[in-house]
């Protein structure tokens, strides 16, 4: 449901309200279904913006009131009927606000669980989930994608010489620069410590080399401009065919980065699953 558009949710909620009004009108003298009017308000509060939520609450209260008037439950000029309509509308608005608050708290906790506390990048969990989705898309549409594993060289020396605060600043600056260098559809994540993962959807080996070369040049300039001597060992794996799992491709990229670091640092190693 979360992937559906606002228009879909608005139409769905309006249809539910109309259906409930018709059922309520038809069965008014047999039993009350007033409590069910909370269903469209709940859906609207959970999935829609504040303006749309109020609009759905108002529409629901109007239908609820109209059913009471035209069914003969209350006279059209009855002060009690209009007072009940106002109370009903206020109740639906408050109910919607409570649910919207719960939705906001849920989204906040969800984002915290998928965000690295220091860099505000995606964390390892989020990276694994995004890569899993990309593997599924690759199987369905036969698109390549690329994973890069980036390890900061001599990061310990920065901490030892300048302190952990400066080391933290390096990591945050790196994350911001990498994100700004890549496309909006790409994902940069901190996997832990001084290690980062980069997901490049729909990217073949040639395009990956261009993107990584651009990223290395930018990060090199950032390091030098801040007086940091760190370089980067990077492993890059392009999946021309989908890998069997996230772990398979990520381990390949990690091993390539390890080889790059062991063979002199400041190097990129490439491989491909085909």
| C-alpha distances in Å from residue 16, one per residue of 30, 49, 57, 60 | 20, 18, 12, 9
Q: How many CA atoms lie within 13 A of 159 on its CB side?
A: 11
Q: How many CA atoms lie within 13 A of 201 on its CB side?
A: 17
The DSSP result for 14-34, as a single string, is HHHHHHHHHHHHHTTTT---G
Find the range with the poorest average confidence among 9-23, 135-149, 230-244. Answer: 9-23
| CA–CA distance, 146 with 204 (Å, rounded to integer) | 7
Find the range with the poorest average confidence among 67-71, 78-82, 122-126, 266-270. Answer: 78-82
Domains in the chain with CATH codes: 6-113 (no CATH), 124-273 (3.30.70.270)
pLDDT of residue 28: 55
Find the range with the poorest average confidence among 77-86, 162-171, 232-241, 252-261. Answer: 77-86
| CA–CA distance, 45 with 106 (Å, rounded to integer) | 13
Give me 144's structure tokens: 């390549």
Give me 134's structure tokens: 């990309």
DSSP state of 36: G
| C-alpha distances in Å from residue 213, one per residue of 12, 77, 208, 219 | 48, 75, 8, 10
pLDDT tens digits, residue range 74-119? 544 566 667 766 777 787 778 877 887 787 777 767 676 789 999 9
pLDDT of residue 80: 67
């Amino acid at each position: 449901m979360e992937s559906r558009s606002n228009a879909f949710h608005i139409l769905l909620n309006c249809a539910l309200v109309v259906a409930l009004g018709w059922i309520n009108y038809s069965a008014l003298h047999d039993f009350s279904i007033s409590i069910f009017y909370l269903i469209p308000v709940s859906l609207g509060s959970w999935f829609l913006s504040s303006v749309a939520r109020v609009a759905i609450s108002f529409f629901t209260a109007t239908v609820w009131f109209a059913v009471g008037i035209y069914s003969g439950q209350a006279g059209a000029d009855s002060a009690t009927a209009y007072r009940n309509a106002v109370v009903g509308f206020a109740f639906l608005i408050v109910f919607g606000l409570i649910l919207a608050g719960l939705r906001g708290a849920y989204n906040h906790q969800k984002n915290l669980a998928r965000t690295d506390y220091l860099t505000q990048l995606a964390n390892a969990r989020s990276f694994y989930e995004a890569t899993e989705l990309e593997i599924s898309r690759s199987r369905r549409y036969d698109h390549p994608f690329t994973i890069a594993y980036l390890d900061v060289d001599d990061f310990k020396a920065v901490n030892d010489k300048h302190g952990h605060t400066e080391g933290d600043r390096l990591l945050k600056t790196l994350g911001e620069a990498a994100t700004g260098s890549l496309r909006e559809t790409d994902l940069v994540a901190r996997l832990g410590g001084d290690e980062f993962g980069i997901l490049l959807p729909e990217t073949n080996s040639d395009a990956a080399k261009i993107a990584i070369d651009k990223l290395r040049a930018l990060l090199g300039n950032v390091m030098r401009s801040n007086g940091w001597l760190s370089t980067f060992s990077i492993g890059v794996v392009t999946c021309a065919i989908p890998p069997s799992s996230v772990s398979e491709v990520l381990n390949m990229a990690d091993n390539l980065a390890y080889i790059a670091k062991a063979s002199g640092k400041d190097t990129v190693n490439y491989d491909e699953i085909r």
